Chains A and B, each alone.
Chain A
Amino acid sequence: MSHRGALLALCARKAPQVWLSTAVLALVVLLIPAPAAATSQTSIADVEDEVMCPICGTLLELAESPQAQRERALVRRLIAAGESKAEVKDALVAQYGRRVLALPSGSGFDLSAYLVPAIAFALVAVALALGVRRWRRAGGPPQPGGTGAPQGEDAERLKADLARYDL
């Protein structure tokens, strides 16, 4: 009996009050991928949108040139041989060079493709935060005697002005 079956049988022997636990466990067991599925089998569509047709300068999924067709055939052969997406990409790099990758790698100079936008985003965020802080300080809560009710001469003048407009 498989581990999954044994677990379900064990749960079934328990008292009815543990049915909820049993159901949860069964769900967990069912959701655990089987070992065969754990190998990251990929598909042509999954690879095509992440690699380039180097001659065409476009994604492989958009290319129909003879070179693209041969590259696609190679990808199909590699997938049929059970290679994962990462292995397929490595094989393509070995055949066509790094330009075959649509996305830069996460190391070396390629890392700058990810770091530069992140740093730029962080700088803009900091600049915005500083700007908002300065703006809020400039237009912050009214100071006592500042923009409150007019006092002294101002109050008198306001009263006179309002009297002139008295309907």
Chain B
Amino acid sequence: MSTRPFLAFLAVLAVLGLLGFGLLSKGETKIALGEAVPDRELPVLGGPGQGSIADYRGHWVLVNLWASWCTPCRQEAPELERFAQRYRKRDLIVLGINVQDNSDDALAFLRDYRVGYPQLRSTGDERSAAFGSTGVPENFLVDPHGRLALIWRGPVDEEFLQQRVVPVVEGRL
């Protein structure tokens, strides 16, 4: 093979490789019910140490992705706090994961809305991407085995929690 066609072949290959890399790197993450929840160690928001969803294995966990600048997150925070207090003794934990935010604003949000349930913090939107998230807030119910039982891409309210989350946790759905 002469040099010129070989170089042209390499150039075309390089361009195709770059295109392929671009397409693959923009691929959306899909998660589905029944699959293992995307999980990893994250810093505890406003505190020392790390935590993960797996720390609550054996419990139902309602994971709430939120950010302080998100208006619907402000509306659902008091509902989630009431829900967390009411169901804490029934093996249901609400776990907040603060995403796409800065920690000062996030901590101010928790103080303003008197949120007491555990909080982790994801730098940037890496956790949002893992959950295939398109925005905040989004909520994911994780069963005691660490599998996704419910996905809700939007804010929750009392009605939703009682009609969609509680029946799953109590085995009525």
A residues with CB within 8 A of B: 54-55, 66-67, 69-71, 74, 77, 94-100
Contact = CB atoms under 8 A, between A and B. Distances in A.
Contacts, number: 40
Interface of B: 67-71, 100-105, 123-126
Given A74-B102, A74-B104, A96 B69 contact: no
B70 to A, nearest CB: 7
A100 B102 CA distance: 12
Contacts of A95: 101-103, 123
Nearest to A66: B69
B100 A96 contact: yes
Given A66-B69, A66-B70, A71 B125 contact: no
Given A66-B70, A70-B105, A94 B100 contact: no
B100 A55 contact: yes
Given A94-B123, A97-B124, 7 more contacts: A66-B71, A67-B67, A74-B105, A95-B101, A95-B103, A97-B126, A99-B125
A77 B108 CA distance: 15
Contacts of B126: 97
Contacts of A100: 124
12 contacts: A54-B100, A55-B100, A66-B69, A66-B71, A67-B69, A67-B100, A70-B101, A74-B104, A77-B104, A95-B102, A97-B126, A98-B124
A70 B67 CA distance: 11
B71 A96 contact: no
B102 A96 contact: yes
A99 B104 CA distance: 19
Nearest to B69: A66
Contacts of A70: 68-69, 101-102, 105
A33 B101 CA distance: 38
Q: Which of B71, B103, B105 has the most CB of A within 10 A?
A: B105
